[in-house]
Amino acid sequence: MTRRLTLGIFQFLAPSGMTGGSWRHPDNTAVDFLDIEHWTTLARRFERAGFDFLFFADSYGYPELEHQVIPDAVRDAIQFPQGDPIVIVSAVAAVTERLGIVATASTMVERPQAIARRYATLDNFTKGRLGWNIVTGAGQGSSARLFGEELTPHDTRYDMAEDHVQIALKLWEGSWEPDALRLDKEGRVYADPAKVHEISHAGPYFSANGLLTVPPSPQQTPFLLQAGTSGRGKDFAARYAEGVFLAGGEVSHIAANVADIRARAAAFGRDPRAIKFVVGASFITAPTREEAEAKREEMLTLSTTENAATAYAYYTGLDLLAMDQDAPLGGGTRTELGQSNVDRFTGENGATVKTVGEILEDFRRNGVNGTTFVGTPAEIADEVEAFIEATDADGFLIQPYLTPGTYDDLIELLLPEFHRRGLHSPEYEGTTLREHFQGEGRKRLADDHPGAAFRP
């Protein structure tokens, strides 16, 4: 395999890694998540290693059942607490030059005009290194309750997201022509009025009439990512996403989702190869397999079945501990929260049907993103090559067990093996995040993206 892997780093502004209560490990510095130097130090290191982007997940939600916070979430820091990652973007940008930065924002919480303005400003501040991870909201039950709202049905949230994103795209692509900014001091022309346009949108959920007050950024539209593999989520990704974040797990299930989204993109008139897929994964490596497996077992001592049930409730609203542990979840199980984390265990798209007890153990061992590679650098590189070949994915969004220990091993042991095999390079493609994904020179949305139709 000669494909260069896209590698991102997944982080919450939170104290734990992706499984259990890893904050309790004596070497874990993630408890410093509200210290700005914690993030600037990590960002510098990620850039030196050549990672394509740093990805910040986010949600206003937290684990709850029957409209009450789950005590285990508070006690053991499971999907709780979380800070607001958008405020760290400028600090990370100030200490790096090439590292991409992806920030999550929910279409259920923020109005599209506010997101368009904020992200256009940050794309200027980062010199074109910003991405928007578009979500309809994780932990949506508690999030809706926090805002004093009723829970919006799952598919309706995607209808709202489409309306939301269309306004943002119209503002980014339609308000300013690329050469509208003149900065002509002698001629007293800051911008050419003939090239700055008001947009109009009257949708079923959002409306807008006016213009974006922020001049064009290097990408004009920040790079667009999306996660979610329910049927409605895949349609949304196929139409709008440039990068898709998939949970890990079974190779056949991942491959089916990649193929399905690519096929849907083609049906929408887009180049299916233009969508890049990154799979959530953890890497535990050491000079010997025995050492790597010992690290894995040490981390699992910090993860309990109750932790797993709490995390699963956060994503789905389902209480696995109250169910028959030996029975399958059932292919007809529906949730108005996160359907993707139901479908991956109930036979959808070739996934193996698992019992409730098996789902809990999977979440205990692997967290929400499902794929864990354990072994020597050479062993993991072999597995990665086979994984990419089988799934047609483009890379990984790497989840930490420990900070900075996960990254120490990744950078010092595994990346040199990837470089030796040509799987990754510490050199960046282009200067913008879109170029890191799509190749040098591709700073703007592709012409076949629906956002391009909003250009004057």
Q: What H or E segment, with its residue span, contains residue 373?
A: strand 371-375
Model pLDDT, residue 275: 96
Q: Which long-range contacts (CB under 8 A, 24 or more apart) does 186-191 make?
A: 191/215
CA distance 160 to 259: 26
User: CB 147: neighbour CB atoms within 10 A?
Assistant: 10
Widest CA span in the chain? 78
pTM: 0.93
Cis peptide before 404 (omega within 30 of 0): yes
Identify the bridge partners of residue 279 per DSSP, sorted by sequence position: 246, 396
- Do residues 337 and 316 make contact, with C-beta atoms less than 8 angstroms apart? yes
Cα 396 from Cα 246, distance rounded (Å): 9
8 Å CB contact between 19 and 299: yes
What was the pLDDT predicted at 330?
Answer: 67
SS3 state of residue 443: coil
Query: What pLDDT is stored for residue 349 in this prediction?
Result: 64
CB atoms within 10 A of CB 132: 23
Q: Mean pLDDT per segment of 10 residues, for the chain of length 456 residues?
A: 81 83 91 96 97 94 88 90 95 98 94 97 98 86 85 88 97 96 96 97 97 97 90 93 91 92 97 95 96 93 89 86 86 67 73 84 80 96 96 94 91 96 93 96 97 96
What's the pLDDT at 336?
A: 61
Phi, psi (deg, nearest 5) at residue 65: -140, 135
Q: Which of 233, 244, 230 is nearest to 394 (CA)?
A: 244
Q: Residue length, the chain?
A: 456
| Spatial separation of the C-alpha atoms in residues 351 and 346, rounded to whole Å | 7
| Dist CA 201 CA 207 (whole Å) | 5
Give me the pLDDT at residue 266, please.
Answer: 97
Residue pair 425/4 in contact by the 8 Å Cβ criterion: yes
For the chain, state the CA radius of gyration: 22
CA dihedral 79, 43, 387, 312 (to 10 degrees): 0
Dist CA 125 CA 120 (whole Å): 9
**Integer Cα distance of 363 and 314 in angstroms:** 12
Give every CB contact of residue 305 below 8 A, 6+ residues apart in sequence.
321, 360, 361, 364
Instruction: Assign 3-state DSSP to the chain and report helix, strand, coil percentages, each to 5.
Output: 45, 15, 40
Residue with the two structure tokens 């190779």: 251
C-alpha triplet 139, 231, 243: angle, nearest 5°: 75
Set out the domains of the chain in order of their start, with CATH numbers. Answer: 6-288+371-454 (3.20.20.30)
Residue 81: asked if its preceding bond is cis (omega within 30°), the reply is yes
Q: How far apart are CA 408 and CA 29, in angstroms?
A: 13
Among positive and negative, which fits the CA dihedral 385, 391, 396, 402? Answer: negative
* Residue that is written with structure tokens 């042991």 in the block: 413
- Cα–Cα dist 83/85, whole Å: 6
Residue 349 contacts residue 253 (beta carbons within 8 Å): yes
- pLDDT for residue 1: 43
Q: Provide the 3-class DSSP secondary structure of residue 115.
A: helix
